[in-house]
Homo-oligomer: A and B are copies of this chain.
Amino acid sequence: MKKAAIGIDIGGTNTVLGVVDMNGNIIARNSMPTNTTEDYHPFMETLTRVIKETVAMAGDKTEITGMGVGAPNGNYYNGTIEFAPNLKFKGIVPVVDYLKSKFSYNVIVLTNDANAAAIGEMIYGGAKGMKDFIMITLGTGVGSGIVVNGEMVYGHDGFAGEIGHTIFDPNGRDCGCGRKGCLETYTSAPGIKRTVFELLSSMNEPSEMRDMSFNEISALMIDELARKGDKIALEAFDYTGEVLGLKLADAVAHTSPEAIFLFGGLAQADDLIFEPTKYYMEEYMLNIYKNKVKLLPSQLPPGDAAILGSSALVWKELKA
């Protein structure tokens, strides 16, 4: 029998899941539209069926040790999704309690998606053997997972690790959270687009983007134009790196990690984002921390990171 864990990632559009062995090999994988309604029961019923199908796909020679779930606004202590803005569920969804009523695995755990990514990095990725590190996910939003002394930081309420919602400028850009100037409004995919629009207004340089609307431009396009030498696009990456570097320097002054991993769409811009971020992080960092903290790309394969991260929750739980 080969030991494996089920990993489930509930995303805004799709829910992906897989059966994963201890080395991070995905033995069986599946997906379903998230299609949530205010009542969580229809979704959880379908999910239960799809989990059973996926376990069957993994075959008889696989021994399932448990189930891990990553979800937006996931609370580790309660095993719940609580008021997730991009899911239609009303109020609090008791995901773990529901799954425990349907499955008999000893380990059924849930946390938010960025925490799951951090644990994935620790179990299968570049953070193997590290006791203190931070995972930053740069996607539509900016998420984070903080590991201290080899343990995930959940905080007293299970909601620790929202570096994306630390404030860069209290008079800054409107954030989806209802406040102003959060890191996320500068260093997410929509954030760099907002920066481009600011620069199109403040700079005089020509740019292909002067013929495009806000809704036409994407982060990927800014990446491509920067590689062709577009000055506005290059400046946008520099500014994004400056804001990120500044707030990462602040994060270092909290938990002094060995490394910070960047994950997600913007992190795939490689040196375009890593170079300025590293430069400004060092610039803004207190002396005692300088030239000590590694800034690294996540080693999780982007397409499978969600499944790997949530399955890693199980191995982490069994180790603890």
A:41-68 near B, CB below 8 Å: none
Q: Give 1 or 0 for each of A227-261: 1 = CB within 8 Å of chain B CB.
A: 00000000000000000001001110111111000
Is B287 a contact of A167 with CB atoms below 8 Å?
A: no
A284 to B162: give the CA distance in the assembly, Å: 13
**Interface membership of A90, Cβ < 8 A:** no
Is A292 a contact of B157 with CB atoms below 8 Å?
A: yes
Is B250 a contact of A167 with CB atoms below 8 Å?
A: yes
Is A179 a contact of B284 with CB atoms below 8 Å?
A: yes
Taking A73-B288, A167-B250, A170-B246 as contacts, is the C-beta distance between A256 and B157 under 8 angstroms? Answer: yes
**Interface of chain A, main secondary structure:** loop
Is B73 a contact of A255 with CB atoms below 8 Å?
A: no
Is A287 a contact of B178 with CB atoms below 8 Å?
A: yes
Contact residues in B for A304 (Cβ distance below 8 Å): none
Taking A149-B151, A165-B253, A250-B250 as contacts, is the C-beta distance between A258 and B156 under 8 angstroms? Answer: yes
**Interface membership of A98, Cβ < 8 A:** no
**Interface membership of A140, Cβ < 8 A:** no
A:64-105 near B, CB below 8 Å: 73, 82-83
Residue of B with least CB distance to A256: B155
Besides A82-B288, A157-B292, A254-B255, 5 new A-B residue pairs in contact (Cβ under 8 A), listed by A number: A130-B156, A155-B255, A160-B255, A163-B254, A167-B250
8 tightest A-B contacts by CB?
A155-B256, A160-B256, A156-B258, A166-B250, A132-B156, A162-B253, A165-B286, A254-B254
Task: Return 16 A-B CB contacts under 8 Å, by A number.
Answer: A73-B288, A132-B155, A146-B254, A148-B153, A148-B160, A149-B149, A149-B151, A153-B255, A154-B256, A155-B255, A157-B289, A162-B288, A165-B253, A167-B249, A170-B284, A254-B255
